[in-house]
Chain A
Amino acid sequence: MRYFFITIFVFCLFVFYQGLKKNPRDIPSNLISQEIPEFYISSFNGPNLSHIDLKKDEIKIVNFFASWCPPCTVEHKQLQSLSKKVTTYGIAKKNKNKDLSKWLGKLGNPYKNIGMDYEGLVSIEWGVYALPETFLIDKNGIIKYKHVGPIMQRDLEKLENLIRKLR
């Protein structure tokens, strides 16, 4: 009986130790391997943006951001470099056109088209819970990967590899 308890104790210790390695802020996306959700929103610098635009036969990234979000400013440089390799769409959450225009004027515009999610409902449709979040979408409009938080220099290689694999 004593060995039975020792086994259970060691097993629990192992499970809890594995749990310590996990990041509690990492929430797996429910939309991976699924089609992009339906949405229609007005656009900042072009025609309206909808899920139909994102189903076009090309690999693309969709970046949820806002000019009022400091980590979005941090990732902007990396996004500029990614946009040279893959079509980049933006969805600005609760952003005023005036503020966005000023922000893009200062930092540059890596986006092919920017959807304006004034109420934050499109972000919920995509399961976004914090800004910035970036989705990688394949040629068939299927979500392949989600990056939560700013894309840093060290994340670029991983993202570029994923894009290469999808080609």
Chain B
Amino acid sequence: MKYIILFLNIFFVNANAIEPNEILENKKLENIAREIGKELRCLVCQNEDIQNSNADIAKDLRTLVRKKLSEGQSKNEIIKYIHSRYGDFVLFSPPLRIDTLGLWALPILFFFVLTFLFFRKR
């Protein structure tokens, strides 16, 4: 049984690139840091979050997130700061603004148009 679990771990364990010296002692803050890490895109990797990336910039951002959390900043403040430096690209979900409206509205619009076309009487 032990070996089966170990074997299955290879496929299902949630791997990340955090190094032991980066981890915060305060578990609550560390959990928030990991939540933030999953919401931020590594800028030099192909669609990887900073939590799972070994890139230098991802490591720097993880360190910065933990430093700011230890200084008492909130999750939103930290994400807002990094967004102000790197723009929309660093966020996995783009903010809802007039220029990003198409991204959010088009899939819903397509859904309704296709549903209408599918069920209309011939």
Q: Which of A28-36, A79-87, A97-105, A106-114 contacts B (4 or more CB under 8 A)?
A: A28-36
Q: A129-B43, A129-B44 are known contacts. Are A27 and B64 too (CB-CB below 8 A)?
A: no
Contact check, A121 vs B64: say whether CB atoms are below 8 A apart. yes
Contact status A125-B85, CB under 8 Å: yes
B interface residues, how many (CB within 8 angstroms): 15
Dominant secondary structure at the A interface: loop
Q: Please indicate the chain B residues that have their CB under 8 angstroms from the CB of A119 in the complex.
A: 60, 63
Which residues of the other chain, A, contact B56 by a CB distance below 8 angstroms? 120
| Interface residue tally for chain A (C-beta within 8 Å) | 15
Contact B87–A130 (Cβ < 8 Å): no
Q: When the two chains form the complex, which single residue of A29, A30, A123, A127 contacts B60, counting CB atoms closer than 8 Å?
A: A123
- Per-residue contact bits, chain B 75-96, to A (CB 8 Å; 1 contact, 0 not): 0000000111111010000000
Q: Is the CB of A30 within 8 A of B87?
A: yes
Known contacts A27-B89, A130-B44; decide if A120 and B60 are in contact (CB<8 Å): yes
Bound state CA distance, A127 and B43, in angstroms? 10
Taking beta carbons and an 8 Å cutoff, which residues of B are in contact with A?
43-44, 56-57, 60-61, 63-64, 82-87, 89
